[in-house]
Structure 1
């Protein structure tokens, strides 16, 4: 099909290799090689980072995290548990380091990025429980991390956005750490794959229906997606009650199969009384922000950073 992509994105689309996650191991190798060749984000202020591990879920390994913070700061800062994207199957702290660094530098905030276990080797709930373990550790160690406890948020992109929504649900339902905000960037939320955008976008760049089907099959186990009884912590779109969740910022791209599930979730948050800001970007596709020089990409990044500033630094 042909799509009315933003004119600044069009010249780049032919250069984007077709992404299929049929062979997960090969995709992981390819993305690591691609990452090694990409120019790195240069923060406006020095940012320090360090790696550590935090106690994992009961009976599971410790969880690696990378902590980012401005090198110079006066007093405590808000904190963000950052969850990388990758369809529950690919992605890493390294691949999304630029994102975490930019948030640390430009919001500013202390960012704890999670190296959660990936499917299909570790299906649901492994990755989610790793993220929740990292959240509880971050909250318990807020003082040592230089985080203001009441300004703790969760956020991510794509599968990371879906996992962020699930972490917010878990925190509410388990009486866990209080969250002040959830950043749900183009979130992967619904295993039923029955929205108009999911049915339509079978050949869009980077993410398309065939990848979405594989992603959920890897995460839930083959034959599970779309069936009755799938946990709302796996697929937050299935959650019946969204009240009592933290304020949200939700983004969607026009030519993204995930578009409608994100917009639907945002609407349901609003109807449940959750303060929610929603941005839909015409002409864009899933992951189009990798084309950093395009005007719409710059606007998407600026909008997101501004939303984090407003939420994490209320009153300036």
Structure 2
């Protein structure tokens, strides 16, 4: 039912918005992503409005804009727990201040009696990879300073990082970057990744094949987000869709593809009759011009196994009707093999982006259930 409603009510309006932004781009009036984001924000940006239970303020952490949501502390707990939240949107769209994320973070702050720091990182095409990672790193490191935690009355031992979609990618990259610095390695108690995008090497996993034309995030759109993130050439999109960028004759990619061998990382209930797409001859120009495709900082799923063991307790939410489903499931398996405590929360009726669709007119039941399951896990583990 959720997918039917999404197709009828949401997909056409979003498609028309994309058409409008492309027209603006073709007329030379603005970059299509800037135009698209302007349209999105014009329908949903909210000012910082506090309530009886949650104080909301806009500020900056070391030059990075953030929106801070402060839940009421419990009488018997002077220090509160906290979540650093990173919104999705293909590294190019949305905002911490858009109504969907404002409402999500307000709910988290109230139900968890927590401090939620929602990061307003810079977007494509204002900046490109790895600047988004630098923004979330800088803001998070600032927040972790003892004097800042004291200001917000946050328990330094109860801080997690979380994000959805491209925000889940940035949260995973942040978690991995912290493992390389001894003083930061134990600062995060947990990470919670919501239908995260975790790799750009294989666009023919079973979920990419199964959901290649699913609304909200069809495969060709996800590939374009990757190309935009790296300021790459759209001429490469069709070749990347058929995995020409990681073919057998592309030496740099072959070893890395082994780290996301889904025939061993996914259960038979998912692999079914799907076959891997591994081209014999590909286009080496793609990774020559976009070497970032093969970096773990952009594709956390391909990180060294030895490093993964240092990551904190992890929650990964995946949805059946989502091209990114297998990214999350494979990462959960790799983390499990590294000895990390992992919870994989899969929703058979879920679709990409569903967790923020909890208010009218897009108040899908699966959106409410995914949000409640996510917050319940945070409550029990943070």
User: Displacement, 1:42?
Assistant: 10
User: Displacement, 1:97?
Assistant: 1.1
User: Displacement, 1:289?
Assistant: 3.4
User: Displacement, 1:73?
Assistant: 4.6
Residue 216 (structure 1) aligned to one of 226, 229, 253: 226
Q: Deviations over 1:114-159 (max 9, x none)?
A: 1111123311110111101111111102111211001111001111
CA distance in 2, matches of 1:291, 1:9: 12
Please say if 1:134 is aligned against 2:204.
no
TM-score normalized by the length of structure 1 = 0.87
Answer with 1 or 2: which has the greater Rg. Answer: 2
Please say if 1:68 is aligned against 2:69.
yes
Residue 263 (structure 1) aligned to one of 319, 325, 329: 329
Change in 2 beyond 3 A, CA 1:72/1:237: closer
User: Displacement, 1:311?
Assistant: 1.3
In terms of mean alpha carbon deviation, does 7-16 or 259-268 score higher? 7-16
Residue 276 (structure 1) aligned to one of 322, 342, 362: 342
CA distance in 2, matches of 1:28, 1:294: 23
Partner of 1:58: none
Please say if 1:168 is aligned against 2:175.
yes
In terms of mean alpha carbon deviation, does 11-20 or 74-83 score higher? 11-20
Secondary structure, aligned partner of 1:188:
coil
CA distance in 1, matches of 2:137, 2:83: 13
Q: Which has the higher contact order (CA 8 A, sep 6+)?
A: 1
RMSD, matched Cα: 2.4
Partner of 1:145: 152
TM-score normalized by the length of structure 2 = 0.72
Unpaired runs of at least 5, structure 2: 23-31, 247-251, 253-290
Please say if 1:86 is aligned against 2:73.
no
Residue 205 (structure 2) aligned to one of 195, 201, 218: 195
CA distance in 2, matches of 1:145, 1:79: 10
Aligned 8 A contact 2:50 2:56 in 1: no
Aligned 8 A contact 1:114 1:134 in 2: yes
Please say if 1:49 is aligned against 2:56.
yes
Aligned 8 A contact 1:136 1:176 in 2: no
Secondary structure, aligned partner of 1:14:
helix
Residue 166 (structure 2) aligned to one of 141, 159, 163: 159
CA distance in 2, matches of 1:295, 1:270: 30
Secondary structure, aligned partner of 2:188:
coil
Partner of 1:14: 8
Aligned 8 A contact 1:9 1:294 in 2: no
User: Displacement, 1:11?
Assistant: 3.1
In terms of mean alpha carbon deviation, does 166-175 or 64-73 score higher? 64-73
Change in 2 beyond 3 A, CA 1:143/1:34: same
Please say if 1:250 is aligned against 2:316.
yes
Aligned 8 A contact 2:71 2:112 in 1: no
Unpaired runs of at least 5, structure 1: 1-6, 56-61
Q: How many residues align?
A: 297
Partner of 1:232: 296
Q: Which has the higher helix share?
A: 2
CA distance in 2, matches of 1:30, 1:52: 24
User: Displacement, 1:13?
Assistant: 2.3
